[in-house]
Structures are given as structure tokens and as C-alpha cells.
Amino acid sequence: MHSCDSAIIPQKRVEYHRKYYREHRQERLESSRKYSREHPKETAERGRKYRREHPKEITERSLKYYREHRPERLEYSQKYSREHPKERAEYSRKYVPEHRKEITERCRKYRREHLKEITERRQKYRRKVLEKLGGKCARCGFSDVRTLQIDHVHGGGGKERKELGHGSTQFHKKVLADTEGKYQLLCANCNWIKRVENNEENAQKMLGVKNWI
């Protein structure tokens, strides 16, 4: 710590001090570390005082740091999550209900700002899914990708769609990971016909039709 008040000494002197500090960075760091080690009580008190008096600067500096070190931080936290799945799940269970509003807001902001990437990612997964499932309707063979929908061969799709979100990457990943043949492609026509036949998701009620002929 320097005892001079830089506000009242002439500019030249300020510059001289700055230059000195810049050029002797390593020694200064070492000597201040030595001081901290030898005077832990005073150092802690000084830290508390600084934090009390400069909350704004501290927030700004840490935000700046977070912004500038985003990739490393992401990598670190992903690694931690992988290695501590239990602790991570416990943390989410506690954090999510308490911060639901912020999370929703943050997600909306992210979606607004990354619309293009999100669409591209979704399309990439959809393309992979279409390829895996044969690229055409399992019933009639119609292959216009604009009409093709992912169908659950044995039903139960409504529940899963509700859980994972229709057309979501998570759902697509699940389809890609499936090895039991749980999914197939149906064109929109065949999908509706199947729903009516099985009365899936109250298809008749949704279409407002009671008797088909």
C-alpha cells in the first residue's frame, strides 16, 4: 500500500509511481504476499474494509473476469458436473425452485440472442434422426421431409413429448440413442390415421369429429 494520496500530488509524480509499479510488479507481488503471510489479521481486516467500501468495483471486476474466461469456466464446470453427478443433481434440486424466475428470463434471453445457432442445432439433429429412421413414412413411403413426424411405435409419445419438448434436441438425442426400435417415421396423414385408429391423445376430440363416415 502506498501512503501518498495521488489526487493531490502533481501528475508527473503519479506517472513516475505508475511506471515504478509496472516495472517492479514481481517484487511488489512477492513483498505483498510476504506481508500477508506475516500479518494475517491485518490483511483480513483490510480485505473486509475494502469489500465494504468497494462493492461495485468488485462486482464489475468479477463480471469482467467471468466474461473473459467463459470457455475455461464452462469446461471446468462441465468437468465438475461429470465427475460429481450426485452433488450436481442435489444443487439443481435446491437451486431451480428458488430461482425459477431468473432461469426462465435467462433462457428467453439466450433464445432471443442465439436463434440462428439453436435452429441450426435443431435441424442438424432432426436430419440425423430422419436418416436413422429411413427418411420416409413407415406406412405409405411418402418421403417429403416436411411432412415426416417421429412416431412412437408402441404409443406413449404424448407423455415423452411433454417431458422433453416436441422437436427438442433432448428428444432427438433419445431417438438417436434408441436401440430397441421404439421410433419410426410417419407422414402427417398416416400419423393422424394411426392416432384415430388407436384413439391416441384423444385424436377424435382434437379433430372435433365423432363419426368418420
Q: List contacts with Zn ion (CB under 5 A).
A: 137, 139-140, 142, 187, 190
Return the number of the residue (83 or 197) whose C-beta is nearest Zn ion.
Answer: 197
Return the number of the residue (149 or 169) whose C-beta is nearest Zn ion.
Answer: 149
Return the number of the residue (125 or 151) whose C-beta is nearest Zn ion.
Answer: 151
The C-alpha cell at 191 is: 400419423
Return the number of the residue (171 or 191) whose C-beta is nearest Zn ion.
Answer: 191
At 183 the three-state DSSP class reads strand
Shortest approach of Zn ion to residue 145 CB, angstroms? Answer: 13
The C-alpha cell at 63 is: 463480471
Q: List residues bridging with 148 in a β-sheet.
A: 187
Shortest approach of Zn ion to residue 135 CB, angstroms? Answer: 13
Q: Crossing angle for the helix pair 115-132 and 169-177, nearest 10 degrees?
A: 20
Cα 102 from Cα 199, distance rounded (Å): 40
Shortest approach of Zn ion to residue 147 CB, angstroms? Answer: 8
Query: Are residues 137 and 187 in contact, defined by beta-carbon separation less than 8 angstroms?
Result: yes
Shortest approach of Zn ion to residue 187 CB, angstroms? Answer: 3
Shortest approach of Zn ion to residue 131 CB, angstroms? Answer: 18
Q: Crossing angle for the helix pair 25-38 and 11-23, nearest 10 degrees?
A: 80
Query: Are residues 164 and 175 in contact, defined by beta-carbon separation less than 8 angstroms?
Result: no
Shortest approach of Zn ion to residue 91 CB, angstroms? Answer: 46
Return the number of the residue (148 or 175) whose C-beta is nearest Zn ion.
Answer: 148
Cα 12 from Cα 18, distance rounded (Å): 10
Q: Crossing angle for the helix pair 40-53 and 55-68, nearest 10 degrees?
A: 90
Return the number of the residue (142 or 153) whose C-beta is nearest Zn ion.
Answer: 142
Q: Quick one: which H or E segment has residue 206? A: helix 203-207
